[in-house]
């Protein structure tokens, strides 16, 4: 399994799946990728112990075993390039999606919440999600340079080749997002559109609607959102 364990509260992981809401703004500068936050209560697997009441240990980070399985599947299906590049990780930043695949890099990310499901269905759901995402990599690997639908016939064929015939296009796991208090509000001085955020903006952002309507979709300082700190 992965190389780290992390302590999460049970309330974050209901036993019974969209990312956090984005902002409706036009940025003056290109957006930067989010900076990963340090792991809280992270520890090595060999140092594991019983978690405090109301919490569970989940593995996070690179998963050597699943990566090996993914490479074996790719090699068996004649995708040697994918077999060399594929990797599987448990991404603690995922919220409601069970898994996702990046065909450009051969990376599969799984949601640690899968590890908190009831024991009788946990292994099956992890396997199903892993193979679901692996099918995306296989379908795109077989059709390089072609435009294909994410859950089209090529993906369904890959699912069949991976042993999950009739796989649905969506994971029916109903993961609930963590609710975080919005600390800042940004208001357009013209149309008064309001955007609430957990984190403070680090650059000037203009109202998308007004920029599109009055400035041809380009950034215009007349429509820069004004910041208000929420109580």
**pLDDT (tens digit per residue) in 55-65:** 778 889 999 99
Average pLDDT of the residues of the chain: 80
DSSP 3-state assignment of 102? strand
Does the pLDDT of residue 216 top 50, yes or no? yes
Our measurement of the distance from residue 153's CA atom to the centroid of its chain's CA atoms, rounded to an integer in Å, reads 24
> For residue 103, what pLDDT is reported?
92
> For residue 45, what pLDDT is reported?
42
User: Worst-scoring range by mean pLDDT, 52-56, 59-63, 103-107, 118-122?
Assistant: 52-56
Average pLDDT on 69-97 reads 94
Q: What is the pTM of this model?
A: 0.59
Query: Which one, of 48, 37, 70, lies nearest residue 4 by Cα?
Result: 48
Q: Is 220 exposed, middle or buried, given 0-12, 13-18 or 19+ CB atoms closer than 10 A? A: middle
Average pLDDT on 204-211 reads 93
Does the pLDDT of residue 117 top 50, yes or no? yes
**CA quadruple 73, 78, 83, 84: dihedral, nearest 10:** 160
Does the pLDDT of residue 67 top 90, yes or no? yes
């Amino acid at each position: 399994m992965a190389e780290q364990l992390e302590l999460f509260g049970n309330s974050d992981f209901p036993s019974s799946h969209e990312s956090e809401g984005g902002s409706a703004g036009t940025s003056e500068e290109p957006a930067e990728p989010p900076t990963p936050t340090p792991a809280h209560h992270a520890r090595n697997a060999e140092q594991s112990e019983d978690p405090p009441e109301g919490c569970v240990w989940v593995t996070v980070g690179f998963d050597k075993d699943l990566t090996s399985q993914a490479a074996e599947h790719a090699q068996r299906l004649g995708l040697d390039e994918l077999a060399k590049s594929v990797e599987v990780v448990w991404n603690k930043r995922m919220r409601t999606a069970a898994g996702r695949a990046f065909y450009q890099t051969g990376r599969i990310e799984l949601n640690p919440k899968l590890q908190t499901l009831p024991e009788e269905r946990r292994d099956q759901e992890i396997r199903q999600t892993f193979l679901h995402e692996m099918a995306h990599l296989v379908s795109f690997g077989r059709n390089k340079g072609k435009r294909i639908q994410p859950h089209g016939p090529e993906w369904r064929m890959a699912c069949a080749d991976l042993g999950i015939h009739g796989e649905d296009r969506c994971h029916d796991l109903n993961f609930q997002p963590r609710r975080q208090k919005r600390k800042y509000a940004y208001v357009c001085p013209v149309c008064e559109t309001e955007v609430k955020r957990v984190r403070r903006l680090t650059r000037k952002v203009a109202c998308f609607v007004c920029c599109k309507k009055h400035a041809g979709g380009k950034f215009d300082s007349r429509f820069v959102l004004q910041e208000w700190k929420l109580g």
